Amino acid sequence: MDTLTPAEVAQRLGVSANKVRQLLRDRKLMAVPGSGNSKIPADFLQDGVILRHLPGLLTVLADGGFSDEEAFAWLFRDDDSLPGTPVQALRDDRHTEVTRRAQASAL
């Protein structure tokens, strides 16, 4: 998995690094758990923006009882019913399927 620093994400989004840190705090974006917010998956960005439905999906996972580690693992786990990973499905604009699966997976 390719990761980016907050400064690299800021550059790609055209915002400040402080704004990226705020997005992380507000759970609109997620860093690799345990990386201290220093590694953000490049797959969370597409065409210079955050994946459109990622912030809402992160909220669904948190509301469903997922810890950051569990949510991150779920986002990148292959799911034969999608097929692929939930992140890839978001990138392919199949957000409804992913959100439905996240709700069904609530802990």
pLDDT of residue 46: 96
3-state secondary structure of 3: strand
Q: To 5 degrees, how large is the angle CA 69–CA 25–CA 87?
A: 50
Residue listed under structure tokens 């699966």: 101
Q: Where are the beta strands (DSSP E) in the chain?
A: 3-4, 40-41, 45-46, 49-50
Domain count, the chain: 1
pTM (whole model) above 0.75:
yes
Which residue type does 55 have? P
pLDDT of residue 69: 95
pLDDT in tens, the chain (107 residues): 899 999 999 999 999 999 999 999 999 999 999 998 899 999 999 999 999 999 999 999 999 999 999 999 999 999 888 889 999 999 999 999 999 999 988 76
Inter-residue contact 91 to 44 (CB < 8 Å):
no
- The domain of 77 spans 3-104
Nearest-angstrom CA–CA distance, 90 and 53: 7
